[in-house]
Chain A
Amino acid sequence: MNNITGNPAFALELNELTVRYGPGCPSCGESPESLDRNRCPVCGSVWAVRGVSLRAREGETLGIVGESGSGKSTLMRALHLDEAPTSGAYFLDGGEENLFGVSPRRRRYIRDSLLGMVYQNPYLGLRMFFSSGANVAEKLIAAGSRNVRGMTERAEYLFRYMEIPFSRVKEPPRNFSGGMQQRVQIAKAVANNPPVLLLDEVTTGLDLSVQARVLDLIKRVQREFGVTMIVVSHDLAVVRLLADRTAVMRDGVIIEQGLTDRILEDPRHVYTQTLVNSML
């Protein structure tokens, strides 16, 4: 496996990502089969993500499914450079630089300009007591915008695109419904036209009709922004709707990945078969 530089064919490439919470010990370090699910019975460390490798081509959507606690959010935080992983290498656009090893300043630049993230919990992605407009402006400023007029126009465009009445731009997201909060998060995440968009359970917990509207919006962004997307969901139906390829995660490990229709219709792993069979 090429760990020094990314493969130019891929817009996003993750090699052997491991995130361990806790000190680790010889037992779990040398024999992962001794783990109890993702936890080491000897030292108590949690191996939230273990040896995960992913690739996505430009404009492609990769779905990640798995049950609660399988490590999906941890993986997404690592991809957004929110926390340093235990080990692994991460490249964008076939670049030479392992993004896990860059300076804090460079990390900030990558997060602000090359990545967009939408969190399951809008409190993680938005400043709830700032105006919605300020939330988007903050992201634009972070990527170097200084022109107030330009920023206002961009915010106006994004709000219209996300079907949020511009008259509500001065209101803080805390006043909004769950679906609207997610749409503000999406506006903020795509504000700088990042090549990579990370979506973690964006529709979980929303009413079905609200969910449908957010999903339609994501489909539109997918089509019209040409962005490479990683979509995490515990719901196979969401992934079926959005993803070209799908990876199945369990206990921190990817147990199976492939074309989404193949994962749904020809699942090989016992866990994937169970998951597909439990679909409505």
Chain B
Amino acid sequence: MLKIKELSKEFIMHIQGGVRITSFSGVSLEVGGGSLLAVTGPSGIGKSSLLKCVYGTYRPTSGSVLYESGSGGTIDLAAADDWELLALRRAEIGYVSQFFHVLPRVSATEILTEPLIARGVPADEAGETARALLRRVGLDRALWEMYPATFSGGEKQRLNILRAVVTRPRLLLLDEPTASLDRGYKGRVIDLLLEIKSSGAAMLGVFHDRDALSALADSRYDMEAGRLLPAGGGATR
């Protein structure tokens, strides 16, 4: 479903005398529907940048990101225009960022219902879906109508994951989704992600811990080695 070919990203920092920073280069990999490819490698090797190049937050310097869209046709995300990317994000590509940017003054429930309502789901149905998900990851009921600005790291992270999966994306990009979760909550999140995977989604993920990696990954691409390695082992340090 996703085929990345010879992808590279370089930044030119004009305000620091024009230094060029190579974030990563020459990445080629493939992710099929219903499977998860884990991206591993030491800190700073470019794992998050790779995900951002797929999502469109970064414009790749060279290479291609071919995505077979659900609406038919293959589109190169590295060359797609803004409107194509916006439409895909709305309809079929989800992204769990490493750091949760809270929207000010939007409650946990609303964060989940808004994207559904925007897609035409009736408000009460959207509310039910949201509450079911909040329950599923064990977010304390007292927090459902609160603004996440004051949530703990783990609470924010669970909400961040729900926000990306609430619309049931076909392609899910995960940047350390379980990093600040303790065992119990991690298990719930892993279960949820397994379910989404088995429903046919393609997933590309960076994982901090071995539990998540071994439970979720079908294959593993190591950015330091620049190739596929056995799926077991190799969690990000």
Contact = CB atoms under 8 A, between A and B. Distances in A.
A216 B82 CA distance: 25
Nearest to A262: B57
B82 A259 contact: yes
A274 interface: yes
B227 interface: no
Given A9-B83, A266-B59, A274-B15, 13 more contacts: A57-B83, A60-B86, A223-B114, A223-B117, A244-B82, A258-B59, A259-B86, A262-B57, A262-B59, A265-B52, A266-B58, A270-B14, A277-B15
Contacts of B83: 9, 57
A72 B52 CA distance: 30
Instruction: Select the residue from A57, A258, A261, A270 with max chain B CB neighbours within 10 A.
Output: A261
Interface residues of B, number: 20
Nearest to A267: B14
B15 A262 contact: no
29 contacts: A9-B83, A212-B104, A216-B105, A223-B114, A223-B117, A241-B104, A244-B82, A244-B86, A245-B86, A258-B59, A259-B56, A259-B82, A259-B86, A261-B56, A262-B57, A262-B58, A262-B59, A265-B52, A265-B58, A266-B52, A266-B57, A266-B58, A266-B59, A268-B12, A269-B14, A270-B14, A270-B15, A274-B15, A277-B15
Contacts of A245: 82, 86
Contacts of B117: 223
Contacts of A258: 59, 82
B98 to A, nearest CB: 12
B121 interface: no
Interface in A224-280: 241, 244-245, 258-259, 261-262, 265-266, 268-270, 273-274, 277
A261 B58 CA distance: 9
Interface string A183-219: 0000000000000000000000000000010001000
Interface string A108-122: 000000000000000
B40 to A, nearest CB: 23
B103 interface: yes
Contacts of A9: 83
Contacts of B11: 266
Contacts of B105: 212, 216
A226 to B, nearest CB: 10
Interface in B25-74: 52, 56-59
B142 interface: no
Q: Which 9 residue pairs across A and B have the least CB separation, nearest first?
A: A270-B14, A266-B58, A261-B57, A273-B15, A259-B82, A265-B57, A273-B14, A245-B82, A262-B57
A258 B59 CA distance: 10
B42 to A, nearest CB: 22
Contacts of A212: 104-105
Interface residues of A, number: 21
B225 interface: no
A245 B12 CA distance: 22
B85 interface: yes
Nearest to B83: A57
A269 B15 CA distance: 10
A257 to B, nearest CB: 8
A259 B85 contact: yes
Contacts of A259: 56-57, 82, 85-86
Contacts of A265: 52, 57-58
A35 to B, nearest CB: 21
Contact of A262 (B14, B56, B103, B104): B56
Nearest to A266: B58
A259 B52 CA distance: 13
Nearest to B87: A57
Contacts of A60: 86
Nearest to B58: A266
Nearest to B90: A244
A241 B102 CA distance: 10
Nearest to A265: B57
A274 B85 CA distance: 26
A224 to B, nearest CB: 10
Nearest to A268: B12
Nearest to B105: A216
Contacts of A266: 11, 52, 57-59
A241 B82 contact: no
